[in-house]
Amino acid sequence: MNTAAGLLSVRNICKSHFDPNIGGQAEALQAVSITVDHHEFVSVIGPSGCGKSTLLRIVAGLDQPNSGEISVAGQRVSRPGADRGMVFQEYALFPWKTTQANVEFGLLLKGIKKEERAEIARRFIELVGLKGSEQKYPHHLSGGMRQRAAVARAMANNPKILLMDEPFAAVDAMTRQRLQEELTAISASERTTVLFVTHAIEEAVFLSDRVVVLSGRPGRVIADMKIELDRPRRWDELAGERRFNDYREQLTRLLYGANAPVEMSS
């Protein structure tokens, strides 16, 4: 298991919360340790309720662990910061702002001058394939386009690491595969470091350099698998490749047992 110091270091994170069903504390995460190196794409998978999203929120500084430590580039994380960009499953765009204004928002908070932030925003809007949609409001955009705008907003702020919480779960299967291909291309071209949470095994294999597997609650790391597939990655080239299917089946057995059916990306 990879536990050496990296850009992101998650060390022995434990998290409990009050569960009214049992009238006491329920353990969500148990001694979770993960590292993510510079320019690495790491996915976290696990059964529903195993604490994947809780872990991401702790890394983002939106939640606090009971014990353990998070650091980014050697700096301990205790609250949200510009060194971490977050993309949620929900699009989280301001409905009263245009695409351009949404993407500029983090730059505005950082005090970047109007002309510079407009230029930076236009670059990332074009990068995610939304050129021509700068003055459209979120309700004028499809689900896939809104998520592209959310990715552009996070990346425009130049975070050290991009945190993504099942960002493609709400779109249809065809759009999802297209967004996955675009994300692999963008993360490669921008050399972006990504920690990505998903419940879909195929998505994790397709996107990642490594896949970390969490057990059922309380979530603990049970595997850290390196994915050695050539880049760039395209679904029409990978779907039938033996190595891709081998990784998928190995991860399925880790999660569900040797006799479980292979989970397909939805």
pLDDT of residue 23: 73
pLDDT of residue 5: 58
- 121 located within any domain: yes
What does the pLDDT look like over 237-252, one tens digit per residue? 998 899 999 999 999 9
Tell me which DSSP letter residue 96 carries: T
- 67 located within any domain: no
Q: Give the C-alpha separation, 5 to 11, whole Å.
A: 10
The alpha-helical segments, DSSP class H, found in 128-191 are 143-156, 173-190
- 254 located within any domain: no
Domain limits at 153? 92-158
Q: What is the number of domains present in the chain?
A: 1
Q: Is 134 helix (H, G, I), strand (E, B) or coil?
A: coil
Q: Tell me the whole-structure pTM to 2 decimals.
A: 0.89
pLDDT of 100 > 50? The answer is yes
- 182 located within any domain: no
- 150 located within any domain: yes
pLDDT of 85 > 80? The answer is yes
- 192 located within any domain: no
- 147 located within any domain: yes
- 110 located within any domain: yes
pLDDT of residue 255: 87
What does the pLDDT look like over 14-68, one tens digit per residue? 999 877 777 777 889 999 999 999 999 999 999 988 999 999 999 999 999 999 9
